Amino acid sequence: QVHLQESGPGLMKPSETLSLTCSVSGGSISSDYWSWIRQPPGKGLDWIGYVYYSGTTIYNPSLKSRVSMSLDTSKKQFSLKVTSVTAADTAVYYCARAHYDTLTGYSSFDQWSQGILVTVSS
Amino acid sequence: DIQMTQSPSSLSASVGDRVTITCRASQTISIYLNWYQQKPGRAPKLLIHAASNLQSGVPSRFSGSGSGTDFTLTISGLQPEDFATYCCQQSYSTPFTFGPGTKVDLK
């Protein structure tokens, strides 16, 4: 079973760049889509974007100008960067596998990390 | 973006009850609809994919139905471990979007 573990800072100041890394174990990173999803305190889930093992990325337009993702197959890691953070970026950040069924075309987030709370405060 | 809505936003139920949660998409999404369960302080857990397919390891008391814009999650015989928040998610087009969630608590 694939296991995901994210790492990164828990506290940041406004205008800094958030960097998170997700390590994948128990399976291959060279397939499927690898996503970042966040959840502000007491609110619902927001999809940030995904990176495919080939390096192809798709971002949520709401964050597109500030977000970048990358993937390192040799380290079995993928990462997220969010520039110019504000208090509105305070959230629990999850990394997740978006499993894509090549036969049907359907996808779902079937494996999730435990989540990391990132707080942006001066 | 495709907007997802859910009803009710919360409900109170007893162990053994049959619970139904509705999810509606702002445009047709075929069966590109997934359901998740989330407990406080925990990551979401996939329950149902492609509208009606039970994820491996998920108890059979969970079921999903629907297509187009209207979908339903049913829990037949609520168990103590089922008290949680349930949300839907469309995978029809990016940006993928989630419903706001339905909190199921103990009556």
Distance of CA A25 to the CA centre of its chain: 16
> How does residue A103 score in pLDDT terms, banded at 50, 70 and 90?
confident
Closest to A94 measured CA to CA, from A55, A48, A59: A48
Q: How many helices, marked H, and strands, marked E, lie in chain B?
A: 0, 11
Which token pair is B1?
């973006």
Q: In Å, how far is B17's CA from the nearest CA of chain A?
A: 26
A40 contacts on B by Cβ (under 8 Å): none
> How does residue A95 score in pLDDT terms, banded at 50, 70 and 90?
very high
| Cβ under 8 Å to B: A residues 28-57 | 44-47, 49
Which of B43, B44, B50 is facing A106, going by the closest CB pair? B50
- The β-bridge partners of A48 are none
- Give residue A22's pLDDT: 98
pLDDT tens per residue, range A17-51: 999 999 999 999 988 899 999 999 999 999 999 99
Q: Looking at chain B, which residue has its C-alpha nearest residue A45? A: B98
Sequential DSSP letters for chain A: --EEEEE--SEE-TTPPEEEEEEEESS-SSSSEEEEEEE-TTS--EEEEEEETTS-EEE-TTTGGGEEEEEETTTTEEEEEE-S--GGG-EEEEEEEEEE-TTT--EEEEEE---EEEEE--
A98 contacts on B by Cβ (under 8 Å): 91
Closest to A22 measured CA to CA, from A78, A69, A62, A60: A78
Q: In Å, how far is A60's CA from the nearest CA of chain B?
A: 5
Q: Report the alpha-carbon distance of residue A56 to residue A63 in Å, rounded.
A: 17
